[in-house]
Amino acid sequence: MNDSSTHGRTPGSTAGPRTAGRRTVLRTLALAGVLAGTTFSAPPPTAVAASEAPETYTLTIRHLDRAGHATGGYRTHVTGISGPGAREEAAPYDESGTVTVRLPKGRYLLDSTLYGPDPATGTDWVVQPRLDLNGDRTVTVDARTTAPVDVRPPESGARRLNGIGFVEVTHEGTTRSANILTAREGLRVAHLGPASEPGSVKEWFDTYWSGARADYALGYTFTSDRALTGLVRHPAADKLATMRIRGAAPEGAGGTGSVSVQPGAGPTIGLAQSLRLPATATVLVTPERGLWDVTFTGPAAPGTPPNRYEANGIAVHAGATTTHTFDNAVFGPALDTRPGARPAGVRDGDRIALDIPLLADGDGHVPSAPRFRTATTTLHRDGVLIGTRRGEPGRAEFTTTPGAASYRLTASATRGDGTASGGRVTASWTFTSAAAARPAALPLSTIRFAPDLALDGTAPAGTPLRVPVTVQGAATGTGVRSLTVSMSADDGTTWTRVPVRDGRAEFRTPASGRSVSLRAELTDTRGNTLTQTQRNAFRIR
């Protein structure tokens, strides 16, 4: 058996050492489910009485190799799409190369992988997206009809790591799928049978490469009435988009992390590599594959889980470069600003809940396992303490009373994981709230500070610095009545108000070996306030 390919019903992969599955175990399992032929929109099965069993027909499938000879080197799947056979799935086999199976009337998807005794000869994948079984039929899967999948990056000598071909077929509201995973070059593909309905066949191929200058993730999608017969793509460098992915070593702590890049849509394999931090990975990707996702995983301290960040839905353009920095200062609160995102705080009857990441990195990426030593959240109602919660930074729930009152909600966290010292982040909000007929978002805002820092989280001493200041949350809708920014060079003992011009706070950095602390005080046009303090926000070199 040619081990260079793994058929769609097998979720494993013979990938090289620098390819990886989806970002998390959850997404890997989801991929496995799709690769196993999951039905996306079929109704649940129902019992059928024996007297109502549908009439069946004989489907005969002949398999021919590239020399036109009958071959037992194949894996074939027949999957029902619509009609009485919509829930049927079969993987018939006979070593003679000719196999029969009886199936109910209906529309089926057939795909077959043909392989020779020598892995170097390659693999053939034949897909028939429309197999209408309304009587006895014979289908011939012939490797001589296939054409090469020839996709390669502009860097000569780049090493192919892995690839996946995937096809989805939709008919009468039901979608079925098949795929092939390949760890070697030499894949050939072909369409078989009549055309399907226009736009009912979606197919894509992703290949991943490692080069001396960069890595490459090349993906292409097609929507048609047929499966592909061959695919040739040799993109020039200026037709690709460059993604620079920087992994930081905050507070000077190094270690080994990893980064993975994959298309945002559909199941795929992805490209992953280790990084000795601080480091930068360069990956060139195809814009026509759509949006791209990046996952960065930092080194884990002993006895703690690794810290993972995700940046999803990144738009890329040919000839352009996007830069994404992970796990660098300034760490602080961040809100999800996408349309329809869950609010950071909610009043639901007598319940007040806070769910806001306090320790997002300098680019606003939210960590899966934030490094902190202590975290506390308190709630005051009309100056009286309602409660104190300790545990995860920025997450707490309180029970209050229905009537309107003035509230002060304060969340703080001390950064660090025992291997490196950190700072302290505190956000304190004031607002008026009362119980309502339905859950309501609390009028919370945050401030993002985004100085241009080296990958060890430092800025040079004695130089002018312009720090971008971004308002997130309620004040972006209600408007800002006032906003002041202060800095401290003595760990917050004394503070100096600094000018904010064109959305940037301006000041000169202190002497080498010191740190900069930052404070923002905001009032929106409805009187809600925020005081946000980030002690030891970044260091000076």
Structure tokens at 423: 């700072």
Instruction: Mark whether 261 and 356 lie in a shared domain.
Output: no
216, 244: one domain: no
How many other CB atoms are there within 10 angstroms of residue 113's CB atom?
Answer: 24
**Could you tell me the pLDDT band of residue 15, with boundaries at 50, 70 and 90?**
very low
Count CB-CB contacts under 10 A for residue 399: 11
318 shares its domain with 351: no
The C-alpha atoms of residue 266 and residue 271 are separated, in whole angstroms, by: 15
Q: Is residue 379 part of a domain?
A: yes
Bridge-based pairing of strands 395-399 and 351-355 is: antiparallel
Rounded to an integer, what distance in angstroms lies between the CA atom of residue 334 and that of residue 361? 9
Residues 108 and 136 in one domain: yes
What is residue 85's predicted lDDT score, i.e. its pLDDT? 97
Task: Report d(CA 300, CA 255) in Å as an integer.
Answer: 8
Residues 253, 137: one domain? Answer: no
Q: State mean pLDDT over 372-378.
A: 96
Phi, psi of 237 (to 5 degrees): -60, -35
Question: What confidence score (pLDDT) does residue 303 get?
Answer: 79
Q: Clarify whether residues 224 and 364 are in a common domain.
A: no
Beta strands 147-151 and 231-233 are parallel
Q: Give residue 302's pLDDT.
A: 78
Asked whether the beta carbons of 210 and 157 are under 8 A apart, the reply is no
Q: What CATH number should be reported for the domain holding residue 127?
A: 2.60.40.1120
**Is beta strand 241-247 parallel, antiparallel or unpaired with respect to 321-326?**
parallel
**Of the listed ranges 4-13, 333-342, 383-392, the one predicted with least confidence:** 4-13
Q: Is residue 46 part of a domain?
A: no
Residue 294 contacts residue 243 (beta carbons within 8 Å): yes
Supply the pTM of this predicted model. Answer: 0.86
Distance CA 355, CA 346 (A): 9
Q: Are residues 266 and 292 in the same domain?
A: yes
- Residue 276 burial (CB count, 10 A): 12
Q: Say whether both 67 and 88 belong to one domain.
A: yes
Q: Residue 340 falls within a domain, yes or no?
A: no
DSSP collapsed to 3 states, 97-112: CEEEEEEECEEEEEEE
Instruction: Give the pLDDT confidence of 484-514 residue by residue, as tens digits.
Output: 999 999 999 999 999 999 999 999 999 999 9
Range of the domain at 92: 5-41+55-233
Alpha helices in 176-247 (DSSP H): none
pLDDT tens readout for residues 37-91:
333 333 334 444 445 678 999 999 999 999 999 999 999 999 999 999 999 999 9
Last residue in a domain, options 233, 265, 297: 233
The DSSP code for 474 is T
| CATH number of the domain within which 319 lies | 2.60.40
CB atoms within 10 A of CB 497: 13
Whole-number pLDDT of residue 50: 47
Q: Estimate the share of the chain in helix, then strand, then coil, as percent rounded to the nearest 5.
A: 5, 50, 40
CB 402 within 8 A of CB 434: yes
Q: Is residue 49 part of a domain?
A: no
Cis bond before residue 330 (omega within 30° of 0) = yes
The predicted pLDDT at position 417 comes to: 57
Q: How far apart are CA 415 and CA 288, in angstroms?
A: 41
Is 64 exposed, middle or buried (CB count within 10 Å of its CB: 0-12, 13-18, 19+)?
A: buried
Asked if 141 and 61 touch (Cβ cutoff 8 Å), the reply is yes
Is residue 158 in some structural domain?
yes
Domain boundary among the residues 196, 211, 233 is at 233
- At 421, is the pLDDT very low, low, confident or very high (cuts 50, 70, 90)? low
Q: What is the DSSP string of 123-163?
A: EEEEEEEEEEESS-EEEEEEGGG-EEEEE--SSTTPEEEEE
Which of the listed residues 233, 250, 272 is the one where a domain comes to its end?
233
Res 5: pLDDT? 42
Number of domains in the chain: 3
CB 139 within 8 A of CB 59: yes
Instruction: Choose between 441 and 37: higher pLDDT.
Output: 441
Under 8 Å between Cβ of 480 and 524:
yes
User: What pLDDT score does 44 carry?
Assistant: 39
The verdict on 141 and 276 lying in the same domain is: no
Q: Is residue 258 part of a domain?
A: yes
Task: Check whether residue 189 and residue 244 sit in a common domain.
Answer: no
**Cα–Cα distance for residue pair 316/320, rounded to 1 Å:** 7
What is the amino acid identity at position 221?
T
Q: Give residue 3's pLDDT.
A: 41
Are residues 378 and 388 in contact, defined by beta-carbon separation less than 8 angstroms? yes
> In which element (H, E) is residue 238 found?
none
Structural contact between residues 496 and 487, judged by C-beta atoms closer than 8 angstroms: yes
253 and 369 share a domain?
no
What pLDDT, on the 0 to 100 scale, is given for residue 39? 32
Asked whether residue 334 is domain-assigned, the answer is no
Tell whether 281 is covered by a domain: yes
Look at residue 446 in the predicted model and tell me its pLDDT: 98
Query: Considering Cα of 336, then 341, then 342, then 347, what sign does the dihedral take?
Result: positive
Q: Do 227 and 261 fall within a single domain?
A: no
pLDDT number for residue 32: 34
